[in-house]
Amino acid sequence: MEKEMIIVLDFGGQYNQLIARRVRECNVYAEVHPYTLSLDEIKAKNPKGIIFTGGPNSVYGEDSPRCGKEIFELGVPILGICYGSQLMSYLLGGTVETAPVSEYGRTEVDVNPSSVLFEDVAEKTICWMSHTDYIAKVPEGFTITASTPVCPVAAMECPAKQLYATQFHPEVMHTQEGMKMLSNFVYKVCGCKGDWKMSSFVDDTIKAVREKVGDGKVLCALSGGVDSSVAAVLLSKAIGKQLTCVFVDHGLLRKDEGDEVEAVFGPEGPYDLNFIRVNAQERYYSKLAGVTEPEAKRKIIGEEFIRVFEEEAKKIGKVDYLVQGTIYPDVIESGLGKSAVIKSHHNVGGLPSVVDFKEIIEPLRLLFKDEVRKAGLELGIPENLVYRQPFPGPGLGIRIIGEVTAEKVHIVQEADAIYREEVAKAGIAKDLGQYFAGLTNMRSVGVMGDERTYDYAVALRAVLTSDFMTAEAAQIPYEVLFKVTSRIINEVKGVNRVMYDLTSKPPGTIEFE
């Protein structure tokens, strides 16, 4: 049976993947495509519905993204959002003008509950607006179904042609009943039944990978992070021993992390794949000796990773495919026909040029982080790995301010393990975006057991963040900080002072370097 799908046509807005994700939350598969997708390509996909996204342009702009109006004759239901609603109006003969008053943010909207789009939605509902243009006159055959005091057409529709439009963004969280509206569109307008689940994604991807790879060889750079782990397990379920995972232990991982990765992916673990662990600790420490400048450290760690991987890849010989755990937030460009830029280093952006392969496989590139985690659970990956907090590619190398040495790595690993243990015991881990211990490059005088000490200061950091672009320091309970401090000073040799970093981002960054 063919799977139901909704096409999200991308007109350059910020929330395009979010729209697709919300549709998937309704258990209907959705894909984002550039607005330049041809009518034939659209027909070939046999969508149950199409959603036009928002975008930063004005429909009258010379270079504004526009599709042809033949799309409205396909007989496929369409929902236009923000710019997409204005485009629908413009193409069908309505008028769009610069609004006398722009609307940004939470806005109370009066909706007509007899519209199928607003079934079960309150007559006055809070929606997220972000526009300077608005629809001044709806096209013939359309009726207005929502408005605000300054936006006469906050929604319009022509049910006979199955065309719907909202000036506001139903996909963002701030539109309180947005999910209901999207669900109404998908189920009541498009007639979907909801045949998509994360397990379907997993099954379909396994099938597609099998078909694509045939009996070819696949290579994966495994970091032990959530994304590369989920990608590796997916591939191993699809092609088993045709997959080789190379895990480079650069000596800058958290305490015991290398062994934990090996326990899951190595020969004793549950997966049937070829696993190579490269213990490159000494090699990294000698390259990093004497280097203090943060960017120089990052560069050395990144380049060394490529060298080590290259050496291993040479031993394996020619491979057909390289797997990358790229996820949607790593795909910088919005899909307007431009190729995706892959995050450097951690997701092995530097690798393709050093490995001889036919193609890159990115099985997770349409998913958000929490969707990747769901896929991981679906695949039976242990929870502690699936819910691992983000860890930068350069690892502890950028949590040790100044020169990196084996001794300093040991100190940070021990201090960080204590911090994580106490945070877990206090039951506050799930509230924190990211938290870790770092090592300042400062030594200070202390006294322990009547003896003078001259040791390092450890800095603890914990931030609240949802996007990692901005963050604020978390208010960790004082008792927890106190316990962590006392344990670190007592248990970690070489540390006589512990500090808590209260800096937000901006002006700080989450990592120290």
Q: Hey, which residues are catalytic here?
A: 82, 169, 171
Q: How far is the CB of 282 from ligand XMP (least distance, A)?
A: 22
Nearer to ligand XMP, 118 or 391 (CB): 391
Strands 274-279 vs 243-249: parallel, antiparallel or unpaired: parallel
* Residue (321 or 435) nearer to ligand XMP, CB: 435
Candidates 41-49, 57-65, 202-210, 390-398 — which segment interacts with ligand XMP by CB under 6 A?
390-398
* Residue for token pair 């305490």: 255
Contact yes or no for 194/48 (Cβ under 8 A) = no
Q: Considering only 21-29, 68-76, 102-110, 391-399, which stretch makes contact with ligand XMP by CB under 6 A?
A: 391-399
- Tokens describing residue 45: 């996909």
Question: x/- site string to ligand XMP, residues 287 to 326, per CB under 6 A?
Answer: ----------------------------------------
- Number of residues located near ligand XMP, criterion CB under 6 A: 12
Q: Interacting stretch for ligand XMP, rule CB under 6 A, among 64-72, 374-382, 389-397, 481-489?
A: 389-397
Minimum distance between the CB of residue 481 and ligand XMP, rounded to whole angstroms? 21
Between the alpha carbon of residue 346 and those of residues 251, 298, 326, 494, the distances in Å are 15, 11, 10, 30
Q: Quick check: 390 binds ligand XMP (CB under 6 A)? A: yes
Per CB under 6 A, the list member of 392, 399, 400, 460 interacting with ligand XMP is 392
Q: Does position 511 bind ligand XMP by CB under 6 A?
A: yes
Separation CA 207–CA 159 (nearest Å): 38
Element (H, E) at 408: helix 406-426
Select from 80-88, 375-383, 392-400, 485-493 the region that touches ligand XMP (CB under 6 A): 392-400
- Residue 222's H or E segment, with its range, is strand 218-222
Among positions 468, 480, 483, 503, the unique one binding ligand XMP when judged by CB under 6 A? 468
Nearer to ligand XMP, 339 or 466 (CB): 466
Is the Cβ of residue 129 or residue 261 nearer to ligand XMP in the bound state? Answer: 261
Q: Which of 80, 178, 393, 397 binds ligand XMP (CB under 6 A)?
A: 393
Nearest-approach distance from CB 391 to ligand XMP, in angstroms: 6
- Does residue 331 interact with ligand XMP by CB under 6 A? no
Kindly report the CA angle at 397 between 331 and 299, in degrees rounded to 5? 60
Q: Minimum Å distance from CB 146 to ligand XMP?
A: 38
Rg (CA), the chain: 26
Shortest Cβ distance from residue 273 to ligand XMP (Å)?
23
- 99-107, 121-129, 408-416, 502-510 -> range binding ligand XMP (CB under 6 A): 502-510
Q: How far is the CB of 313 from ligand XMP (least distance, A)?
A: 21
Closer of 470 and 490 to ligand XMP (Cβ): 470
Nearer to ligand XMP, 258 or 394 (CB): 394
Question: What is the C-alpha separation between 80 and 139, in angstroms, rounded?
Answer: 14
Q: Are 85 and 170 in contact (CB under 8 A)?
A: no
| Residue in 24, 287, 346, 408 binding ligand XMP, rule: CB under 6 A | 346
Contact of 494 with 455, CB cutoff 8 Å: yes
Question: Mapping DSSP to helix (H, G, I), strand (E, B) and coil, where does residue 78 land?
Answer: strand
Residues with Cβ within 8 Å of 475's Cβ and at least 6 positions away in sequence, in order, are none
Give the tokens for residue 22: 């919300």
CA nearest 456: which of 414, 427, 417, 425? 414
**229 in contact with ligand XMP (CB under 6 A):** no
Extract the tokens encoding 154: 């906050």
Q: How far is CA 433 from CA 87, 185, 254, 377, 463, in A?
A: 38, 34, 17, 20, 6
- Say whether residue 510 binds ligand XMP (CB under 6 A): yes
Q: Residue 362 CB, nearest distance to ligand XMP (Å)?
A: 16
CB of 454 to ligand XMP, least distance (A): 30
Does residue 369 interact with ligand XMP by CB under 6 A? no
Contact yes or no for 437/416 (Cβ under 8 A): yes
> Token pair for residue 415?
């201090």
Long-range contacts of the stretch 90-94 (C-beta < 8 A, 24+): 90/59, 90/60, 91/66, 91/67, 92/139, 92/140, 92/142, 92/163, 93/139, 93/140, 94/135, 94/136, 94/137, 94/138, 94/139, 94/142
Decide whether 113 or 390 has the Cβ nearer to ligand XMP.
390
Query: What's the rounded Cα separation, in Å, for the pair 371 and 381?
Result: 14
Q: Which is nearer to ligand XMP, 103 or 257 (CB)?
A: 257
Judged by CB under 6 A, does residue 470 bind ligand XMP?
Answer: no
Q: Which of 363/394 has CB closer to ligand XMP?
A: 394
Half-sphere CA count of 254, side-chain side, radius 13 A: 22
* Residue span binding ligand XMP (CB under 6 A) among the ranges 40-48, 319-327, 354-362, 504-512: 504-512
**Strands 218-222, 243-249: pairing kind:** parallel
Binding site for ligand XMP (CB under 6 A): 345-346, 390, 392-394, 434, 468, 505, 509-511
